[in-house]
Amino acid sequence: MHGTIRSLPFPGRLGVICLCLVLLGGLVASAFYLYQHHEKKDEQPGLTLIDLQGAYHGVDNPSLLLKALNAGHPETLKAEQRSALKAWLEGTRIVEDYDNLDLGDNAPSEIIAANCVSCHARNASDPVAKKIPLDYFDDVKKIAFSRRINPVPAPILLVSTHAHALALGCVFFVIGVLMLATSWPRIMRQWLPSLALLGLFIDLGAWWLSRYAIEFVYVIIVAGGAFNVLGVLCLLCVIIDALRPGKASPQA
Ligand code: HEC
């Protein structure tokens, strides 16, 4: 197969180049799709690690406020008020109930004003605590929301796996055959597509393993990134090969 592409007449090379451009377009589009699809999982702009951990494993990050209260901070807070604050932060009415008059002295705004603002205010004397002001709801809001993202449900992951495994398997088979038909050094022709396929296999496996162990999300990122980059690299190699001066007949 070695050198077959360079021995092709013009129409054959044109076909090879167009096929590569179509596949490149597909890989680029899937990268944008991935970004768009996962970007908004957490409230942070852009695609973050938490977005991906949320999608493949699920995350349950308590808010900074809840963490502090759970850790027993501040020691001076009465048990009843601590549980009132915790119930508020764990519920779904963080905005509505912040200064709900019906809650009386147990309204979060009242508890915070009476127990926290002496240290946590912009004009407080505590140099560390004043950096986390709690004077206004706008301040409190920033550290009140816990991030809970449920993983993609298993039936949907199953649909996604069956589509991706079969389609990407075929795409990378084609890429591999095209690479073998170039006249690049043997080490490139054989290793680049094989490593891409290895990355694909590991990536798809890690989709499922991530459900059990969040560490596999890193494997998804590395293996997924690797097979995409290698795929793009192979396609560029094939295009360059198809543009190089022709050879009369393929070598072996
Ligand atoms: C006596 C002063 C004092 C009071 C009262 C106080 N805090 Fe703090 N708080 C601190 C200091 C100092 C820190 C930073 C050091 C630490 O984490 O303990 C802090 C840290 C925090 C943090 C950040 C924790 C982290 O992990 O970074 C939060 C959230 C917080 N306080 C919330 C509250 C809330 C809510 C109240 C009232 C229910 C409150 N604090 C009452 C002094 C205070």
Q: What is the mean pLDDT of residues 38-56?
A: 82
Q: Express each pLDDT in 113-169 by its tens digit.
A: 999 999 999 999 999 999 999 999 999 999 998 888 899 999 999 999 999 999 999
Q: What is the mean pLDDT of residues 232-238?
A: 97
What integer pLDDT is reported at residue 137 of this predicted model?
Answer: 93
Q: Express each pLDDT in 193-228 by its tens digit.
A: 999 999 999 999 999 999 999 999 999 999 999 999
Enumerate residues lining ligand 1, CB below 6 A: 64-65, 67-68, 73-74, 76-77, 112, 115-116, 118-120, 126, 128-129, 132, 143
| Residue 245 confidence (pLDDT) above 80 | yes
| Residue 33 confidence (pLDDT) above 80 | yes
Atom of ligand 1 nearest to the CA of 76: 5
What integer pLDDT is reported at residue 18 of this predicted model?
Answer: 98
- Tokens 């451009």 belong to 21
What is the Cα–Cα distance from 238 to 190, expressed in whole angstroms? 13
What integer pLDDT is reported at residue 248 of this predicted model?
Answer: 60
Phi, psi of 123 (to 5 degrees): -100, 15
Q: Express each pLDDT in 54-106 by its tens digit.
A: 999 999 889 999 999 999 999 999 999 999 999 999 988 999 999 999 999 89
- Tokens 């850790």 belong to 71
Lowest mean pLDDT among 5-19, 42-56, 213-227: 42-56
Residue type, 238: V
Q: If you count them, how many residues does the chain have?
A: 252
For 29, residues 6+ apart whose C-beta sits below 8 A from its C-beta are none
CA of 195 to the centre of ligand 1 (A): 50
What integer pLDDT is reported at residue 246 of this predicted model?
Answer: 81
What integer pLDDT is reported at residue 252 of this predicted model?
Answer: 41
Handedness of CA 91, 93, 97, 102 (dihedral sign): negative
Closest-CA residue to 137 (of 82, 87, 96): 96
What integer pLDDT is reported at residue 43 of this predicted model?
Answer: 65
- Output the residue whose Cα is nearest ligand 1's atom 19: 129
193 preceded by a cis bond (ω within 30 of 0): no
What integer pLDDT is reported at residue 146 of this predicted model?
Answer: 87
Tokens of 176: 């591999």
